Amino acid sequence: MKMVKSLILGSAAGLIAMSGAQAADLPVKAKAVEYVRICSLYGAGFFYIPGTDTCIKLGGYVRIDTTFNGTTYGGPAWSGDLGQGNRYRDYFVSRSRMALTVDTRTATEYGVVRTFGQADFQFDNFGNGTKNPNTLLAPGVNSTLLSGAGGGYVAVEMVFIQFAGFTFGKSASAYATPWNGYPGNNNSFLLGGPDYVTGVNNIQYTAQFGNGVSATIGLDDPQVFNRTVVGNISLGLPATGLGVPINAYGGVHAPDIAGNIRVDQAWGLFQISGVAHLVNASYNVLTAPTAAPNNLSEISGHPDDKWGGAVTAALQIKNLPTGAGDDFKIDATFAKGSTKSVISTSGGSPQFAMYGSTGLAGAYQSIGFGAVTDAVYSGGFGGGATQGLKLTNAWGVRGAFNHNWDPYWSSSLWGSYAQVRYDGSVGDLTSAKGALCAGYIAATGGLATKTADFSCNPDFNVAQIGLITRWTPVKNLTFSAEVGAFFLDQKFTGGSVLVAAAPKPVALYEYKDQSTVFLNVRAQRNF
């Protein structure tokens, strides 16, 4: 028994000795892991970047949508092969997008320093609704990188820094409405007011006065976003009969000056905003059809620059008695020399050209068009009609009623109306309207090719109406369907023989109002 006890004690002592030796060989104790800490200062989703006092939020969405009888993202069939309704048009187009956003914020003695960026990784049917080789093989177009198998592209939306009331970078203009072009619609083509949803390079300052009152002033770069056409009528108009003069915009001479005053309250909000836009042409004498300069351009002179601009009033009414969360949004805009402020999409301004049926004897089809310009002029040595810039007028209104049926279903009824007007009369060749009509008649073969009841008037109206219904079965996952109609009210009468864009034939076409309908379906998961 004593022997067993001695063996046990001896073994225990040996183990203790071995353990002590091994413990002496262990490395220094590792530092504690620095776990991610939640940052509750700026709302849900923020956390501290490890080792810093900066909070960051990662987010975005995945969106898949398909448009029938339209372009990507719900664009109506109002131009190109879709507007013609020919065999090159796609009956439907699809796009898949993943948007990634990065939002960082740091508290300082000057207030919060914020950075924000959004990149869109997307793939869609190249050509945006057409398979016409004249479009797909045009100079500068790279179809392989955009729509080949495994292709796609990255689009940059917002990229900006905010500090002490200032915003620097690519952000929505101070002139924009709070909802941009989306009072209740999914599609990115609701006309009638400004739409800066994809951002514009700018510098802005916002002052907060308390009680929900604020004011913002900024300088925007207009080159990409706020220009349509400055038409040099002396270069001639296309014989296709679409009425769009050759664009002779000059370089950017001044930024857009934008600003707003805004009131946010429990009942909703009200904002009045404005923008000043400098309209400038290049030269009087240029080479058609591209408005390229030649050796006579500089000595031919140019029309004087002119300031135009626009003003917008926006109103939102919340907590409507029709249901929890229901609201009504509306904005109205008037513009002179800043037509993009009214005929606006999240991209460029469209030039409308639509074909349809006809009741005119001998006519092949009907045509309706609307030329979108900031100004027109006639160049050339020794002056001439409308040598100075004649600014284009436009106004529009748009809005939506948004209703929640229950926590899972909602609908929006949206619409818009806009007008584009050219000053003067057809008989006054020194006016915008007179010079445009004279150029149009000359380009399309003179009065000999027109019917007896032909009359020229480049003014036009557009109207839109639509309905969208959304189903959100679980949080942040939404399926939606949107149907919309577009109406073009053009002011020409009679008919004319036109050299229409191929594949249309050279034939007699009746001038007639046009319309189209589209359907967009979408699935979106926010994260």
Q: What would the pLDDT profile of 137-152 be if each residue is shown by its tens digit?
A: 666 666 555 666 777 8
The stretch 378-406 carries a mean pLDDT of 86
Rounded Cα distance between 397 and 330, Å, is 7
Rounded Cα distance between 4 and 526, Å, is 72
- pLDDT digit string, tens, across residues 412-463: 999 999 999 999 999 999 999 999 999 999 999 999 999 999 999 999 999 9
3-state secondary structure of 433: helix
pLDDT at 225: 86
Answer yes or no: is pLDDT of 74 > 80: yes
Dig out the tokens for 240 from the structure: 């296709």
Count how many domains the chain has.
Answer: 1
Q: How confident is the model at residue 403 (pLDDT cuts 50, 70, 90)?
A: very high
Answer yes or no: is pLDDT of 5 > 60: no
Domain membership of residue 280 (yes or no) is yes
pLDDT at 21: 43
Lowest mean pLDDT among 288-292, 368-372, 458-462, 503-507: 288-292
pLDDT at 238: 87
Domain membership of residue 227 (yes or no) is yes
Domain membership of residue 41 (yes or no) is no
Domain membership of residue 324 as a residue range: 165-526
Domain membership of residue 103 (yes or no) is no
Domain membership of residue 142 (yes or no) is no
Rounded Cα distance between 141 and 137, Å, is 6
Domain membership of residue 395 (yes or no) is yes
Answer yes or no: is pLDDT of 100 > 80: yes
pLDDT at 386: 63
pLDDT at 343: 98
Answer yes or no: is pLDDT of 224 > 60: yes
pLDDT at 511: 98
For the residues of 388-410, what is the DSSP string, one character each? S-EEPEEEEEEEEEEEESSSSEE
The stretch 159-173 carries a mean pLDDT of 97
Domain membership of residue 385 (yes or no) is yes
- pLDDT digit string, tens, across residues 509-526: 999 999 999 999 999 999
Mean pLDDT of the chain: 91
Domain membership of residue 252 (yes or no) is yes
pLDDT at 153: 86
User: Which CATH number is 356's domain given?
Assistant: 2.40.160
**pLDDT over 70 percentage in the chain:** 90
Q: Other CB atoms closer than 10 Å to residue 468's CB: what's the count?
A: 23
3-state secondary structure of 435: helix
Rounded Cα distance between 146 and 127, Å, is 10
